[in-house]
C-alpha cells in the first residue's frame, strides 16, 4: 500500500531519492519467513520505514543529497539501519535531504527540492525534509532523520508530525555520513508520539562502533509515551524564545499549548536562559568547523564522483576539480567558514569562543532544570515558508533553527509535537529535557499532541 502511495504522489512531493519495490517486497517476505519460523521480532516487525539518505544501507545507494556521492553503494549498514532491519522493519527507500544535512528547507539537495504535502509551493523543512514529507504525505508511517541543529524537529514542526532528537550519544552515529560530529544525532519521525517512541526504542542504545555512544540503558520512552500525563510536572517557558520575531499564529498556538499543559495539571513558570540566543551564532562556528574537517574525506579518490582524471592531471588537480563540481554552494560556504574559524590566529577568537559559549548554554540548562522538569518553546519561529523565499539569504534560512540549536550544543533531549495550525499550516511545540531525560519529552508530548 505504501509503495502504491509513493507511486501515486511522489512525482509531486519528491520525498524519495531511491525507491526499489523489488528489494522492499523481498525484505517484507523475509520478515514473514522469520515470523513463521517463530522468531520474536518485536512490535514494529513488518512496518515499512523510509531512511534519510545519510544512513548507509548495504542494498541501496547513499548520497547524503550530494553529487559527490552519486552512485556510491556503501558496503555496510549504519547501526540504525541494521538494528531496524533486525527488528523486522522494511525499508521503502531513501529520502531527500539538504546536501550533507546543511540547510533548513531541503532546497540544498543536489537532486531537486522536496515539497511540503500541506502546500506544494512550500518547503518541508530541512535538512531531513524528505523524511518529514514522506510521513506527512502518508508515503511512509515512520522515517529516520538526523538532527545537528534542528534537522528533525524543524521539518517535523512544519509538516505537522512528530520528530525527536534523542540525547546526544543515545543513538549511534556509526554509518551516518558525518556533518558535525559533536552535534549529529539520529532520531525518529512518526505521526504520533507513541509511534516515535517505539521507533526510538528499536534503534537506540549503546553501540561500541561509535566512540561517543553513551553506555547507559535507553530511557523508558515507550512507557513514558503510554503514560502521557503531566499532572504535577513543572514546565518552564523559555523567556528568550517568546515574544517578538515569532509569527502571530505560532505564538498563539504555543500559548494555547501552554494553557493546555496547565489545564492538565502542570505547573507552568517562566524561566530565563540568557545564553540561548547566542547558541545560533556559536553553532555557525562549531558546525562549519567540524564540517570542514569531516568533508576532507571527499577527495575524489575514495568515494563516488571523480572529475578530470584523464591521465594528464595531478591527483591534486583532480581533487580540486571534483570538489568544485561535486559540492554545492552551501557546502562550500560552510567549508570556507569552518576552515577560517579553525585557522591559526583565528582559532581562539572564533572556534575557542564558540566552545566557551557552549559551556554557558549548558549552565543555563542546568540551572533551568533545577527549577523545572521540562522546558518548552515554539519549535521554529514561522510555519513552512515558500520555496525560494530564503534561498539567497543564508541568515534568514539559519534563523529557522533559533529555538532548536541550544539542545544540540549541549546534547539535551528535545521533541517537536504538532500543536495546531496557523493559516492552515502546522505549528510545532518543542519540549526539551535534561541529558538522558528522553522519556520526559515523550511523556509530555503524548499528553499534549494534537
Annotated active-site positions, please?
52, 127, 151
- The region of 35-43, 101-109, 248-256, 335-343 touching ligand GLN under the rule CB under 6 A is 101-109
CB atoms within 10 A of CB 244: 6
When asked if residue 150 is in the footprint of ligand GLN (CB under 6 A), the reply is yes
Q: Give residues 383-402 in contact with ligand GLN (rule: CB under 6 A).
A: 401
CB atoms within 10 A of CB 269: 11
For residues 200 and 413, the answer to whether their CB atoms sit within 8 Å is no
At residue 151, φ and ψ (nearest 5 deg) are: -65, -5
Minimum gap (Å) between residue 428 Cβ and ligand GLN: 15
Spatial distance between the Cα atoms of 121 and 100, rounded to a whole number of angstroms: 23
DSSP three-state, residue 10 = helix
For residues 166 and 438, the answer to whether their CB atoms sit within 8 Å is yes
Encoded one letter per residue, x for contact with ligand GLN by CB under 6 A and - for no contact, window 419-448 reads: ------------------------------
Q: Which residue intervals of 229-352 are DSSP H helices?
A: 248-263, 279-294, 315-326, 329-342
When asked if residue 159 is in the footprint of ligand GLN (CB under 6 A), the reply is no
When asked if residue 139 is in the footprint of ligand GLN (CB under 6 A), the reply is no
Q: According to CB under 6 A, which one of 14, 27, 56, 104 is a site residue for ligand GLN?
A: 104
- What b/e sequence results for 45-60 when a residue is b if at least 16 CB atoms lie within 10 Å of its CB, and e otherwise? bebbbbbbbbbbbeeb
CB of 88 or CB of 428, closer to ligand GLN:
428
When asked if residue 89 is in the footprint of ligand GLN (CB under 6 A), the reply is no
When asked if residue 10 is in the footprint of ligand GLN (CB under 6 A), the reply is no
Spatial CB neighbours of 3, under 8 Å, sequence gap ≥ 6: 19, 21, 24, 25, 92
In terms of Cα–Cα distance, which of 67, 19, 336, 295 is closest to 177? Answer: 295
Which CA distances in Å does 143 have to 246, 312, 325?
29, 45, 30
CB of 27 or CB of 146, closer to ligand GLN:
146
- The region of 74-82, 87-95, 132-140, 141-149 touching ligand GLN under the rule CB under 6 A is 141-149
CB of 24 or CB of 106, closer to ligand GLN:
106
Minimum gap (Å) between residue 376 Cβ and ligand GLN: 20
CB of 349 or CB of 396, closer to ligand GLN:
396
CB of 52 or CB of 115, closer to ligand GLN:
52
Spatial distance between the Cα atoms of 22 and 2, rounded to a whole number of angstroms: 13
C-alpha angle 413-172-220 in degrees, rounded to nearest 5? 50
When asked if residue 99 is in the footprint of ligand GLN (CB under 6 A), the reply is no
CB of 137 or CB of 287, closer to ligand GLN:
287
- Contacts with ligand GLN by CB under 6 A: the residue count is 13
When asked if residue 144 is in the footprint of ligand GLN (CB under 6 A), the reply is no
Binding site for ligand GLN (CB under 6 A): 101-104, 127, 147-151, 179, 287, 401
Amino acid at each position: 500500500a505504501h509503495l502504491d502511495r509513493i507511486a501515486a504522489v511522489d512525482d509531486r512531493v519528491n520525498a524519495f531519492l531511491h525507491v526499489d519495490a523489488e528489494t522492499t517486497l523481498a525484505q517484507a517476505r523475509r520478515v514473514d519467513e522469520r515470523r513463521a519460523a517463530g522468531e520474536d521480532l518485536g512490535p514494529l516487525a513488518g512496518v515499512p520505514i523510509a531512511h534519510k539518505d545519510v544512513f548507509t544501507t548495504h542494498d541501496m545507494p547513499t548520497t547524503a543529497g550530494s553529487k559527490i556521492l552519486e552512485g556510491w553503494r556503501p558496503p555496510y549498514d549504519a547501526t540504525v539501519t541494521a538494528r531496524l532491519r533486525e527488528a523486522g522493519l522494511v525499508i521503502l527507500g531513501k529520502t531527500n535531504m539538504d546536501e550533507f544535512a546543511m540547510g533548513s528547507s531541503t532546497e540544498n539537495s543536489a537532486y531537486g527540492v522536496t515539497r511540503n504535502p500541506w502546500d506544494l509551493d512550500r518547503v518541508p523543512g530541512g535538512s531531513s525534509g524528505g523524511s518529514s514529507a514522506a510521513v506527512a504525505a502518508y508515503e511512509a508511517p515512520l522515517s529516520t532523520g538526523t538532527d545537528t541543529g534542528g534537522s528533525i524537529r524543524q521539518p517535523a514542526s512544519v509538516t505537522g508530525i512528530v520528530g525527536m532528537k534523542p540525547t546526544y550519544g543515545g543513538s549511534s552515529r556509526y554509518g551516518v555520513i558525518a556533518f558535525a560530529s559533536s552535534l549529529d544525532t539520529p532520531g525518529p519521525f512518526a505521526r504520533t508520539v507513541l509511534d516515535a517512541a517505539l521507533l526510538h526504542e528499536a534503534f537506540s542504545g549503546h553501540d561500541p562502533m561509535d566512540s561517543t555512544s553513551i553506555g547507559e540503558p535507553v530511557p523508558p520512552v515507550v512507557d513514558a509515551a503510554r503514560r502521557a500525563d503531566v499532572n504535577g510536572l513543572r514546565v518552564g517557558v523559555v523567556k528568550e524564545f517568546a515574544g517578538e520575531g515569532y509569527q502571530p499564529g505560532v505564538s498563539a498556538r504555543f500559548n494555547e499549548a501552554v494553557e493546555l499543559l496547565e489545564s492538565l495539571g502542570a505547573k507552568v513558570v517562566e524561566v530565563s536562559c540568557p545564553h540561548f540566543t547566542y547558541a545560533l551564532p556559536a553553532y555557525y562556528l562549531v558546525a562549519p568547523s567540524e564540517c570542514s574537517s569531516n568533508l576532507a574525506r571527499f577527495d575524489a579518490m575514495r568515494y563516488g564522483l571523480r572529475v578530470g582524471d584523464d591521465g594528464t592531471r595531478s591527483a591534486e588537480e583532480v581533487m580540486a576539480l571534483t570538489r568544485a563540481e561535486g559540492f554545492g554552494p552551501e557546502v562550500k560556504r560552510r567549508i570556507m567558514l569552518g576552515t577560517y574559524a579553525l585557522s591559526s590566529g583565528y582559532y581562539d577568537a572564533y572556534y575557542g569562543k564558540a566552545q566557551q559559549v557552549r559551556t554557558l548554554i549548558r549552565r543555563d540548562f542546568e540551572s533551568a532544570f533545577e527549577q523545572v522538569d521540562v522546558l518548552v518553546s515554539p519549535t521554529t519561529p514561522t510555519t513552512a515558508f515558500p520555496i525560494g523565499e530564503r534561498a539567497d539569504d543564508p541568515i534568514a534560512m539559519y534563523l529557522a533553527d533559533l529555538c532548536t540549536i541550544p539542545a544540540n550544543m549541549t546534547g539535551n533531549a528535545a521533541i517537536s509535537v504538532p500543536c495546531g495550525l496557523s493559516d492552515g499550516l502546522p505549528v510545532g511545540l518543542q519540549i526539551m529535557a535534561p541529558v538522558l531525560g528522553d522519556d520526559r519529552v515523550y511523556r509530555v508530548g503524548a499528553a499534549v499532541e494534537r
